[in-house]
């Protein structure tokens, strides 16, 4: 019988051991690395088992001076990280000691629980880039090919020199979703830090007239190329700039042992865009505990 995991406060976490555990995990993810967690949830805590042989990050928020678990911004999925796939016993052990389990877990974290727990499936879209570009392009659906052809007729230009500040400014101006200032600051910090660590890339599209029409940010880590954030202007939609941008990313990273992770969406128009490039739907589990517990 395994000993139980220990709940560590932020200052008690050994970041060197933590990152070593994440990197060695069969399900390694940039979302779970300490630098990323430090940005999205500065006071994150953790459940740690057997001197970091298995860990579970806990992202927290604060309301009325009380801390509680949140799904941190720009952190699609979190779960248990270990060198071997988590079995039912290990999963049950961790979530038994989770103070207030309200977070999204990766797809391998499916297990049976009691009436106080509930699961819902959420979609993600992934495209393996381990093939030659012509083969990948042949998997685009007819709508995607039609939009890409229209984009290519517009003599669009790829830009690679956008600063994080310019990217955030463009994204803020053309976002279809309302975000708080704090979320924009978090995104800017992620972009800046990822570029500094040489795992982040901003790519943009400019119209021949001179205006930027689309921009996107990707993180390349643990053999996953994650489409973390992007935006298009009105002209960008008109000229199909994001189709042009995404096709360029696929072409440049073709024939590599990479998975292009679109991060998924329950918004039909976005899901249709992702599926158009030949990506496959991979669902993960959103897990909720109905009993409120405050973190001590």
pLDDT digits (tens, 9 = 90+) for 138-182: 999 999 999 999 999 999 999 999 999 999 999 999 998 888 999
Query: What H or E segment, with its residue span, contains residue 261?
Result: strand 259-261
User: b/e per residue, 173-184, with b = 16+ CB within 10 A?
Assistant: ebeeeeeeeeeb
Q: Is the confidence at residue 104, as pLDDT, over 80?
A: no
Provide mean pLDDT across the span 17-42: 97
Provide mean pLDDT across the span 107-118: 47
SS3 268: helix
Q: Is the confidence at residue 204, as pLDDT, over 70?
A: yes
Q: Is the confidence at residue 128, as pLDDT, over 80?
A: yes
Residue 116: pLDDT band with limits 50, 70, 90? very low
For residue range 244-286, what is the model confidence (pLDDT) as tens digits?
999 999 999 999 999 999 987 767 888 999 999 999 988 776 6
Mean model confidence pLDDT for the chain: 88
In contact, 156 and 273? CB cutoff 8 Å: no
Question: Which has more confidence, 269 or 13?
Answer: 13
Q: Is the confidence at residue 119, as pLDDT, over 90?
A: no
Residue 14: pLDDT band with limits 50, 70, 90? very high
Residue 206: pLDDT band with limits 50, 70, 90? very high
Kindly state the tokens that stand for 161: 């020199």
* pLDDT at residue 191, as a whole number: 98
φ and ψ of 36, to 5 deg: -70, -45
* pLDDT at residue 293, as a whole number: 45
Inter-CA distances, 157 with 210, 243, 295, Å: 9, 13, 50
Residue 87: pLDDT band with limits 50, 70, 90? confident
User: b/e per residue, 28-52, with b = 16+ CB within 10 A?
Assistant: bbbbbbbebbebbbebbbbbbbeeb
* pLDDT at residue 118, as a whole number: 57
* pLDDT at residue 95, as a whole number: 78
* pLDDT at residue 94, as a whole number: 86
Q: Is the confidence at residue 207, as pLDDT, over 90?
A: yes
Torsional sign, CA 134, 228, 107, 283: negative
For residue range 39-82, what is the model confidence (pLDDT) as tens digits?
999 999 999 999 999 999 999 887 777 777 888 999 988 889 99
Instruction: Please name the residues in contact with 188: beta carbons below 8 A apart, sequence gap of 6 or more.
Output: 164, 165, 168
Residue 111: pLDDT band with limits 50, 70, 90? very low
Total Cβ atoms within 10 A of residue 135: 12
Question: Which has more confidence, 259 or 99?
Answer: 259
Domain annotation for the chain: domains and CATH numbers: 6-123+284-289 (3.40.630), 130-257 (3.40.630.30)
Provide mean pLDDT across the span 202-211: 94
pTM for this one?
0.90
Provide mean pLDDT across the span 211-225: 97
């Amino acid at each position: 019988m395994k000993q139980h995991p220990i709940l560590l406060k932020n200052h008690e976490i050994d970041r060197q051991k933590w990152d070593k555990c994440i990197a060695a995990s069969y399900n390694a993810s940039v979302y779970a690395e300490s630098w990323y967690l430090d940005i999205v949830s500065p006071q994150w805590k953790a459940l740690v088992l057997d001197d970091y042989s298995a860990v579970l990050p806990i992202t927290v928020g604060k309301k009325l001076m009380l801390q509680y678990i949140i799904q941190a911004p720009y952190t699609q999925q979190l779960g248990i990280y270990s060198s071997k796939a988590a079995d039912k016993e290990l999963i049950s052990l961790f979530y038994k000691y989770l103070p207030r389990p309200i977070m999204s877990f990766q797809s391998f974290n499916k297990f049976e629980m009691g009436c106080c727990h509930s699961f819902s499936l959420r979609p993600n879209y992934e495209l393996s880039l381990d093939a030659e570009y012509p083969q990948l392009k042949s998997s685009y659906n007819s709508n995607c090919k039609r939009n890409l052809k229209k984009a290519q007729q517009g003599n669009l230009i790829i830009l690679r020199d956008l600063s994080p500040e310019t990217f955030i400014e463009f994204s803020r101006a053309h976002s279809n979703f309302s975000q708080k200032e704090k979320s924009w600051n978090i995104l800017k910090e992620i972009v800046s830090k990822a570029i500094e660590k040489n795992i982040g890339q901003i790519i943009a599209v400019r119209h021949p007239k001179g205006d930027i029409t689309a921009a996107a940010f990707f993180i390349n880590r643990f053999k996953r190329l994650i489409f973390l954030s992007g935006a298009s202007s009105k002209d960008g939609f008109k000229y199909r700039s994001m189709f042009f941008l995404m096709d360029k990313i696929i072409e440049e990273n073709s024939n590599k042992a990479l998975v292009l992770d679109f991060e998924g969406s329950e918004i039909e128009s976005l899901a249709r865009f992702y599926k158009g490039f030949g990506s496959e739907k991979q669902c993960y589990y959103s897990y909720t505990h109905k009993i409120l517990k405050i973190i001590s």
